[in-house]
Amino acid sequence: MGIPEKRIIFMCTHRTYVYTQGHKQSPRKSVEYYRTIVQNLEKSTICKHLFSQSKAKEDKDMKTRLIVPTMEELSMEEKTPEILFWVGCAGSFDQRAQKVTIAFVKILNKLGIDFAILGKEESCTGDPARRAGNEFVFQMQAQQNIQLLNMYNVKKIVTTCPHCFNILKNEYPSLGGKYEVLHHTELLQEFISNGQLKVDGGSFKGKTITYHDSCYLGRANNIYQAPRELLKELDGNLVEMKRSKSRGLCCGAGGAQMFKEDEPGDKRINTERTEDILNTGAQVVAANCPFCITMLQDGLKEKEQQDKVMVLDLSEMIVQANNL
């Protein structure tokens, strides 16, 4: 079989392009980019979180306060929460992803869920380091995290980031970090199934919605149904993209590519994916990953469609629908 005139890189590549036949990348540039990533990770191992160590943080968009205890605080009271919410680097630092973090906490607070975060003790999972090929830095970060999690006797972890979810669930166990790990869409669906959470379609009722499968939740972990079950509760009109579920197209941000510069090519992966979205005629794109949200928003801006198509995490959609 010959090489097709154009081939699309499906697995996680940030701002990577649809390469044309015969195009050659520069290995030296890629190595330099990844070296910078790892150096930055080594310098900044501790996350300064969106939520401080205080138990309550004012949310300017809310009349109430968000209750966000830390593991350290609960440990001093000799308490162990049912769930550890792993916020992740994006959920801590990125302004867009912070909105998802806040939305998810609003839901947890509304339902009275017993949870806590690590706060200033949380470090990067080491996923970008391993994807960039620096096993030493990954091992160092993972072992540090596992030691901390085991010290707090953590049993169950939930995270809004599929990258954190994948590495905590599938790659930490071999290093001694064995926990029940859930993506937040799985936990939210569990709340709906057992009657804890009820969702009103609200502003999404009747709207055309499409869903983007992130690589690390979909193809890597075969989680397709839970997010779609959540969307059914919103009473919208779900329209699938031609490339969805196991044949879904990467947004272009995974595999540590989120943190490096563009490589030469004809077309960005997120542009290609944005065209898939626009072909559905959707008014809303539901997503489940902070990197995907960034890349899809960038693609819509490039197409000058950012005012016509919203990109929202599923937790944000539930918060909007229930007016939390």
The closest alpha carbon to 88, from 162, 171, 161, belongs to 161
Distance CA 75, CA 152 (A): 7
Q: Are 226 and 258 a contacting pair, CB within 8 Å?
A: no
pLDDT digits (tens, 9 = 90+) for 41-58: 555 544 445 554 333 444
Backbone angles phi, psi at 116, to 5 degrees: -155, 165
The two tokens of residue 278 are 């626009």
Q: How far apart (Å, rounded) are the C-alpha atoms in residues 104 and 102?
A: 5
Would you state the pLDDT for residue 265? Answer: 73
pLDDT score at 8: 34
Burial-class residue 155 by CB neighbours within 10 Å (0-12, 13-18, 19+): middle
pLDDT the model gives residue 256: 58
Residue type, 43: K
Q: How far apart are CA 125 and CA 150, in angstroms?
A: 15
Residue partners of 119: CB distance under 8 A and separation at least 6: 49, 51, 52, 53, 70, 71, 72
Q: Determine the Cα angle at 135 with ends 133 and 139, to 5°.
A: 145
Euclidean distance between the first and the last CA atom of the chain, given in angstroms as a whole number = 55
Q: Look at residue 65 in the predicted model and tell me its pLDDT.
A: 80
Q: Amino acid letter at 318? A: I
Assign a CATH topology to domain 199-252+263-322. Rossmann fold (3.40.50)
Instruction: Check residue 304 and give its pLDDT.
Output: 96
CA–CA distance, 252 with 241 (Å, rounded to integer): 17
Cβ-based neighbours of 241, under 8 Å, separated by 6 or more: 210, 212, 248, 249, 276, 277, 279, 280
Question: pTM for this structure?
Answer: 0.85
pLDDT of residue 7: 36
**Contact (Cβ atoms closer than 8 angstroms) between residue 254 and residue 12:** yes
The residue type of 204 is F
Q: CB 268: neighbour CB atoms within 10 A?
A: 21
CA distances from 50 to 66, 93, 106, 158 (A): 12, 7, 14, 17
pLDDT given for residue 14 in this prediction = 35
Collapsing DSSP to helix, strand or coil, 46 comes out as strand
* Residue in the structure block whose two tokens are 């669906």: 189
Given a cut of 70, the residues of the chain with pLDDT beneath it are: 1-64, 254-264
What is the C-alpha to C-alpha distance for residues 99 and 24, in angstroms, rounded to an integer? 39
The single-letter code of the amino acid at 163 is H
Helical spans, DSSP H, in 152-220 = 162-170, 184-193
Q: Per-residue pLDDT tens for 155-170?
A: 999 999 999 999 999 9
Q: Phi then psi for 101, rounded to 5 degrees?
A: -55, -45
